[in-house]
Amino acid sequence: MQTITLGGNGPIVTAIGVGTWAWGDTLFWAYGKDFGSQDVAEAFQASIDAGVTFFDTAEVYGLGESERLIGKFRQQTSATIQIATKYFPLPWRWRRKSIANALTASLERLQTSQISLYQIHWPLEFVLKTRDFMDVLAQEVKNGRIQSVGVSNYSAAQMTIAHDYLAERGIPLAVNQVPYSLLTRQIEQNGVLQKAKQLGVTILAYSPLAQGLLTGKYNAETVKHLQGARRFDSRFSSSALQQLEPLFSTLKDLSEKYDKTPAQISLNWLIAQGNVIPIPGAKNALQARQNAGALGWSLTPEEVELLRQKSIK
């Protein structure tokens, strides 16, 4: 199984993870309608069976339900899993103690005393500032409740500030979790990817399949029946899909060459960037197994570049 060390010297996790935003979320992902607790339980087990043991969640996913589900599932397996979760700095949580209290609540829902990674979900500064966040999380590393510190949706400048504050406490910044896919490549232009490489920060790539656009299952007919968050995404319009046809065609050609799905090709492309961990969602066992199929093989450098050229910048 391919693995990556978070931040270069943090916990060792699998080179692909499982994003669990949809687990328990009824607002955006129609949890309880198109899929339910049994489906995600099977996705959890299928991931482990395939060797993928890194799960990313957050306290706001399903208002804690995603964490509760993972906590329940981890009690039912003997496998060692790595869990990442996040703190959302809502405006009324204005004391440093609020961060520690939120971590306590997450650990209780996850039914564990320690997690591999704790992240600040958004760089929203009200009364609490970046130094406050980093000081508290550095202390939690020393307390043993978290193994590593991360941020999410931070710009290159914000990530650097967080890195420097942590360095003062002797703690590395392990992760910046940002959207990254063949169709979402802003971090290549805005300095985040380059700065992460300079600082030794691992990129956790969320929405690595662009909400499913890179799976190959969406066309002018299927987009008429969209559910959840995709209904609000302009990329799922018939005209937008038509513009993506050159990329889809290339993905199809490579799929046939490697006997892989377009999604597996797209995830492998991200892994090929180096120190990038895609965390695709999985609502059922089939999706979990398909995601794991991105591991154990590699696109050639020429194919990586070809996909880069075909994708929208």
Task: For the chain, give the number of residues.
Answer: 313
What the block records as the tokens of 181 is 């896919």
Could you confirm whether 61 is annotated as catalytic?
A: yes
| Residue from 61, 118, 165, 218 carrying the catalytic annotation | 61
Annotate the chain with three-state secondary structure.
Answer: CCEEEHHHCCCEEECCCEECCCCCCCCCCCECCCECHHHHHHHHHHHHHCCCCEEECCCCHHHHHHHHHHHHHHCCCCCCCEEEEEECCCCCCCCHHHHHHHHHHHHHHHCCCCECEEEECCCCCCCCCHHHHHHHHHHHHHHCCECCEEEECCCHHHHHHHHHHHHHCCCCEEEEEEECECCECHHHHCCHHHHHHHHCCEEEEECCCHHHHHHCCCCCCHHHHCCHHHHHCHHHCHHHHHHCHHHHHHHHHHHHHHCCCHHHHHHHHHHCCCCEEECCECCCHHHHHHHHCCCCCCCCHHHHHHHHHHCCC
Q: How far apart are CA 111 and CA 107, in angstroms?
A: 6
User: Taking the alpha carbons of 32, 237, 60, 23 in that order, is the dihedral positive or negative?
Assistant: positive
Catalytically annotated residues: 61
